[in-house]
Amino acid sequence: MPFMDETTAAAVPRPVPGEAPAVPDSARTPAVPDSARTRAVPDSARTRAVPDSARTRAVPDSARTGAVPDSARTRAVLIDIGGVLRSDRTREVLADWAVRLGTSRRRVLRAVFAGNDETVLVGRMSEDDWWGIVAERLRLRPDEVSDLRGDMGARESWNADLVACLRGLRDRGTPTAIVSNAWPVARTILARDGLTGVADEIVLSCDVGCAKPDPRIFEEALRRLGVPAEDALFVDDTPANVAAAERLGLTGHVHTGTAPTIARITTFASLDGG
């Protein structure tokens, strides 16, 4: 043997020098009687070749695993509101209010948003109560609070091309969902502008109790649409949110302009069976 460990080697008897090693009777080859000898197998008993028609055909991988071919898969599109479907002029508005109040833009920004992630943004506080906190921070009169609330949405507008793209997807049967970090007023704005039916599902952080990049908000949108993560595209203008969706298995696209986003959506959605 080319390899033998020490324990096995010690158990093997060694021959006496000058003598041929004795072979025990039990190890000698016994004579085989004629009756036990192997008879030649006649041609008639030999294995016949199997005709091609009877051979087992190879099973394609898609049939073995139950994988769904691309042509039969349904692709879904998830998209953000602020900064994507709707312009975001928040910083511009707050900069103007800083001038009006004679304070810094940073102070106004913090007064309006500091702590909202754990409260109004995820539905743990009403919007009226939140604006009460903002009023205390900035020492605003009731009429000033009302003006600021109105101004926050008055300068924003919908991206008509992206809205039309989203409507087109839904019309052709592509599952769609809005997934947005939003205060409750978002529902009012969607209804006012006739856009509550622009997508199959509207998933807002204030309704579901979690906000992007928390993976639960993406999981909720996928659950409602009934599609797996690998068959969904998520569009957002915040790279961190896109990265969070990609970690779940979604395809991500960072929105930087209308034309590239529409092209990406169109290419992704065209891969389905519709």
Confidence of residue 41 (pLDDT cuts 50, 70, 90): very low
Which among 240, 235, 241, 231 has a CA at the least distance from the CA of 265? 235
Considering the chain, what is the average pLDDT of its residues? 82
pLDDT in tens, 17-27: 344 334 334 43
Please, are residues 212 and 181 in contact by the beta-carbon 8 Å criterion? yes
Q: Provide the pLDDT for residue 38.
A: 45
Percentage of the chain exceeding pLDDT 70 = 73
Burial 151-174 (b: 16+ CB within 10 A, else e): ebbeebebbeebbebbeebeeeeb
More confident residue, 67 or 169: 169
Q: What is the rounded distance in angstroms from the CA atom of residue 261 to the CA atom of residue 84?
A: 9
Task: State which CATH number among 3.40.50.1000, 3.40.50.300, 3.40.605.10, 3.30.365.10 fits the domain covering 72-86+157-269.
Answer: 3.40.50.1000
Lowest-confidence pick of 49-53, 70-74, 91-95, 118-122: 49-53
Q: Provide the pLDDT for residue 143.
A: 97
Q: Where are the domains of the chain?
A: 72-86+157-269, 90-154
The answer, yes or no, to whether residue 273 has pLDDT greater than 60, is no
The answer, yes or no, to whether residue 252 has pLDDT greater than 90, is yes
Q: Provide the pLDDT for residue 73.
A: 80
Q: Provide the pLDDT for residue 35.
A: 47
pLDDT in tens, 120-132: 999 999 999 999 9
Q: Provide the pLDDT for residue 69.
A: 55
Say which residues have a Cβ less than 8 Å from residue 124's Cβ, sequence separation at least 6. Answer: 118, 209
pLDDT in tens, 137-171: 999 999 999 999 999 989 999 999 999 999 999 99
The answer, yes or no, to whether residue 15 has pLDDT greater than 60, is no
Q: Provide the pLDDT for residue 75.
A: 97
pLDDT in tens, 253-268: 999 999 999 999 999 9
Q: What is the rounded distance in angstroms from the CA atom of residue 267 to the CA atom of residue 270?
A: 5
pLDDT in tens, 83-99: 999 999 999 999 999 99
For the segment 234-246, the average pLDDT, to the nearest whole number, is: 98
* pTM, full prediction: 0.74
The answer, yes or no, to whether residue 6 has pLDDT greater than 60, is no
Strand partners, 82: 86
Q: What is the rounded distance in angstroms from the CA atom of residue 221 to the CA atom of residue 5?
A: 62
The answer, yes or no, to whether residue 56 has pLDDT greater than 70, is no
